[in-house]
């Protein structure tokens, strides 16, 4: 395991505030770091562990040691306790970070998944104009050349190519047609063909080779996919029943399992649910190890102290909460609350925690404000994430998320089970999240309201009893929906094919 050794000395956090004595970031503003000013603009490295939910990382209080390296980054930087994504699925979430827009503004949704619009003004473009070398190493096929994800980057590495996906799916479907379903499942579960997630070690090695060229300043995005289904059968670190876990993996990988379960075609026993969590946690640990190697490399090459390192995710993952398996479909906490840890000795004192609300795509503005400011003093950076250590600054009062309709997946679920009734999943959904409440509004008029302090699992909707709260958030949402809405972009036929391939590979459609 690569636990990197810190180079920097650090100041201890001080002061408590907020409910429950959470160590708050009412810590002294970090002193301007002389290395930052000598060096010029800081580098920025955003590391995404796709599908990582915050509450499954040790530094967020999870009982299992799933994240020793992320914990270490957090202990040397700042952990944001409540970071909310704009959308609970990859294409829209990454597009929000890149464009600093919500899904109804950038138009990348689940149904007309298409290449990101050429005209989208992107973060790497803006950073390039500020003198940054920009690169992206993506294992997520929604952040790929095929989706125009490469635009704006000086260097873009996408290990998967659309032809590979198409060949993969053709082989699998031929195999099934010829009666080799069991073989197809086996191949997929062995990941001989299910390479759709890429390989995190390769991604880290590729990133290291780019970083070794010592571009200054650089902006990098690295996307690791381990916790995303399908799962690797060799990762059983937390499985108490290894034989059962392997058997389960043969079942779960390659049979459109999540869609089958959500459609009511298959039910999972409690034992299988437990095994799914064991395996997911082991995948998190694997991503954490790879991420540790990358941070370790920055340290060994003396770049770490000049680099803002962000560790985060695009969305969470559900294991049966609110009837959802995998991701998409729901705007509840398990899918919208993502980890966010930021490290740079000049900006965030070691071991600080920020309890306020932030939005995942606040990263966009943070990167811009850091790049645009020639002043290395942290208090000269206006943006929230860099102000986390400032006791006079408070974060967002609310965040917004939205979930467009996934009609292709719903159609597939209906094919699996003609009696399947998708309910609110057939409607675009919107959510407002404050410190205390989550309000969800579906476009069929259905509403949900949860008191997150009393009911963190969002088990009991209180919308009928709290009409004034509903009215407040409903008004807020109405204004939000009007803000910068763009017409949905037309789906491009080749992109339609690509998205279908992708959904097939991930088991959401057949
Ligand atoms: Zn994702």
User: What's the CA-to-centroid distance between 14 and ligand 1, angstroms?
Assistant: 36
- Segment 453-468 shows an average pLDDT of 96
The phi and psi torsions of 326 (rounded to 5 degrees) equal: 80, -135
User: What's the CA-to-centroid distance between 409 and ligand 1, angstroms?
Assistant: 16
pLDDT for residue 19: 27
**Alpha-carbon Rg of the chain, whole angstroms?**
22
Q: How confident is the model at residue 418 (pLDDT cuts 50, 70, 90)?
A: very high
- DSSP for 227-274, please give it: TSSS--TT--TT-SSHHHHHHHHHHHTTTTHHHHHHTTSS---HHHHH
Rounded Cα distance, 100 and 427, in Å: 24
- Segment 382-397 shows an average pLDDT of 82
The strand pair at 218-224 and 133-138 is best described as parallel
User: What's the CA-to-centroid distance between 357 and ligand 1, angstroms?
Assistant: 21
- Could you tell me what percent of the chain has a pLDDT over 90? 55
User: What's the CA-to-centroid distance between 406 and ligand 1, angstroms?
Assistant: 15
* Three-state DSSP class for residue 470: helix
392 against 172, higher pLDDT? 392
Stated length of the chain: 510
Q: Give the DSSP letter of residue 330.
A: -
Cα 129 to Cα 122, 123, 220, 231, 371: the distances in Å are 11, 10, 15, 40, 9
Closest among 333, 507, 352, 342 to 437, alpha carbons compared: 333
15 against 426, higher pLDDT? 426
User: Is pTM, for the whole model, over 0.95?
Assistant: no
User: What's the CA-to-centroid distance between 50 and ligand 1, angstroms?
Assistant: 5
Q: Which residues of 22-39 are buried (b: 16+ CB within 10 A; e: fewer)?
A: ebbbbbbbbebbeebeeb
Alpha carbon 218 to its chain's center: 22
Q: CB of 169 within 8 A of CB of 255?
A: no
Q: CB of 6 within 8 A of CB of 307?
A: no
The strand pair at 133-138 and 398-403 is best described as unpaired
pLDDT above 90 (res 398): yes
470 against 509, higher pLDDT? 470
- Segment 397-415 shows an average pLDDT of 91
Q: How confident is the model at residue 99 (pLDDT cuts 50, 70, 90)?
A: very high
User: What's the CA-to-centroid distance between 221 and ligand 1, angstroms?
Assistant: 14
User: What's the CA-to-centroid distance between 62 and ligand 1, angstroms?
Assistant: 21
pLDDT for residue 230: 81
User: What's the CA-to-centroid distance between 30 and ligand 1, angstroms?
Assistant: 33
Closest among 358, 331, 241, 343 to 291, alpha carbons compared: 343
Closest among 323, 363, 321, 326 to 341, alpha carbons compared: 363
Domains and CATH numbers, the chain: 19-398+482-505 (3.40.720.10)
pLDDT above 70 (res 24): no
User: What's the CA-to-centroid distance between 17 and ligand 1, angstroms?
Assistant: 33
Neighbours of 493 (CB within 10 A): 9
Write down the mean pLDDT value for the chain: 83
- The label of the residue with tokens 């990263």 reads 363
User: What's the CA-to-centroid distance between 482 and ligand 1, angstroms?
Assistant: 27
Q: Which two tokens mark 77?
A: 């930087």
User: What's the CA-to-centroid distance between 49 and ligand 1, angstroms?
Assistant: 8
User: What's the CA-to-centroid distance between 407 and ligand 1, angstroms?
Assistant: 18
User: What's the CA-to-centroid distance between 384 and ligand 1, angstroms?
Assistant: 25
Rounded Cα distance, 394 and 358, in Å: 10
User: What's the CA-to-centroid distance between 7 and ligand 1, angstroms?
Assistant: 32
> pLDDT tens-digit profile of 174-206?
776 777 777 766 665 554 444 567 789 989 999
User: What's the CA-to-centroid distance between 471 and ligand 1, angstroms?
Assistant: 32
User: What's the CA-to-centroid distance between 329 and ligand 1, angstroms?
Assistant: 13
ω before 469 within 30° of 0 (cis)?
Answer: no
pLDDT for residue 115: 74
pLDDT for residue 102: 94
pLDDT for residue 36: 45
pLDDT for residue 231: 85
User: What's the CA-to-centroid distance between 223 and ligand 1, angstroms?
Assistant: 9
Q: Give the DSSP letter of residue 396.
A: B
> pLDDT tens-digit profile of 225-271?
999 988 887 888 898 888 888 888 777 776 677 888 898 888 888 88
pLDDT for residue 379: 57
pLDDT above 90 (res 495): no
User: What's the CA-to-centroid distance between 200 and ligand 1, angstroms?
Assistant: 14
User: What's the CA-to-centroid distance between 346 and ligand 1, angstroms?
Assistant: 31
User: What's the CA-to-centroid distance between 141 and ligand 1, angstroms?
Assistant: 10
Rounded Cα distance, 259 and 414, in Å: 10
Cα 261 to Cα 183, 265, 320, 403: the distances in Å are 22, 6, 9, 20
> pLDDT tens-digit profile of 65-77?
999 999 999 999 9
User: What's the CA-to-centroid distance between 314 and ligand 1, angstroms?
Assistant: 5
Instruction: Identify the helix (H) or strand (E) that includes residue 288.
Output: helix 270-300
The strand pair at 437-442 and 447-451 is best described as antiparallel
- Segment 363-382 shows an average pLDDT of 75
């Amino acid at each position: 395991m690569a636990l990197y050794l810190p180079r920097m000395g650090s100041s201890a956090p001080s002061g408590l505030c907020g409910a429950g004595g959470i160590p708050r970031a009412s810590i002294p503003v970090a002193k301007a770091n002389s290395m930052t000013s000598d060096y010029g603009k800081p580098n920025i490295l955003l590391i995404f562990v796709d599908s990582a939910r915050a509450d499954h990382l040790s530094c967020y209080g999870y009982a299992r040691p799933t994240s020793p390296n992320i914990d270490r980054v957090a202990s040397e930087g700042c952990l944001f306790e409540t970071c909310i994504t704009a959308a609970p699925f990859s294409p829209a979430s990454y597009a929000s970070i890149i464009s600093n827009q919500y899904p109804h503004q950038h138009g990348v949704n689940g149904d007309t998944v298409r290449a990101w619009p050429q005209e989208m003004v992107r973060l790497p473009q803006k950073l390039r104009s500020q003198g940054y070398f920009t690169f992206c190493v993506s294992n997520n096929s929604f952040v790929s050349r095929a989706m125009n994800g490469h635009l704006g980057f000086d260097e873009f590495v996408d290990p998967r190519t659309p032809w590979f996906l198409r060949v993969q799916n053709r082989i699998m479907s031929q195999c099934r047609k010829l009666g080799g379903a069991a073989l197809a499942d086996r191949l997929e579960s062995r990941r001989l063909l299910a390479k759709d997630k890429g390989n995190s070690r390769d991604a880290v090695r590729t990133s290291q080779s780019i970083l070794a060229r010592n571009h200054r300043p650089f902006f990098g995005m690295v996307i690791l996919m381990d916790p995303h289904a399908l799962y690797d059968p060799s990762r059983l670190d937390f499985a108490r029943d290894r034989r059962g876990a392997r058997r389960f993996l043969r079942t779960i990988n390659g049979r459109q399992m999540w869609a089958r379960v959500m459609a009511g075609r298959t039910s999972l026993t409690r034992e299988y649910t437990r095994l799914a969590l064991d395996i997911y946690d082991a995948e998190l640990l694997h991503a954490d190890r790879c991420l540790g190697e990358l941070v370790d490399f920055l340290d060994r090459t003396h770049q770490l102290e000049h680099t803002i390192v962000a560790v985060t995710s695009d969305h969470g993952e559900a294991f049966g909460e609110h009837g959802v398996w995998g991701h998409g479909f729901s705007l509840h906490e398990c899918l919208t609350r993502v980890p966010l840890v930021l490290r740079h000795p000049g900006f965030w004192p070691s071991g600080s925690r920020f309890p306020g609300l932030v939005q995942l795509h606040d990263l966009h503005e943070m990167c811009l404000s850091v790049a645009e400011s020639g002043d290395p003093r942290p208090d000269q950076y206006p943006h929230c994430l860099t102000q986390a250590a400032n006791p006079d600054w408070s974060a967002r009062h609310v965040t917004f998320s939205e979930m467009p309709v996934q009609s292709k997946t719903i159609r597939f679920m209906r094919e699996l089970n003609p009696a399947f009734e998708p309910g609110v999943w057939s409607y675009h959904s919107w959510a407002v999240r404050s410190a205390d409440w989550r309000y969800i509004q579906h476009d069929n008029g259905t509403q949900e309201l949860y008191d997150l302090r009393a009911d963190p699992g969002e088990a009991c909707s209180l919308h009928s009893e709290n009409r004034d709260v509903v009215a407040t958030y409903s008004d807020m949402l109405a204004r939000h929906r009007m803000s910068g809405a763009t017409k949905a972009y037309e789906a491009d036929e080749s992109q339609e094919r690509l998205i279908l391939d992708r959904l097939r590979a991930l088991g959401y459609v057949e």
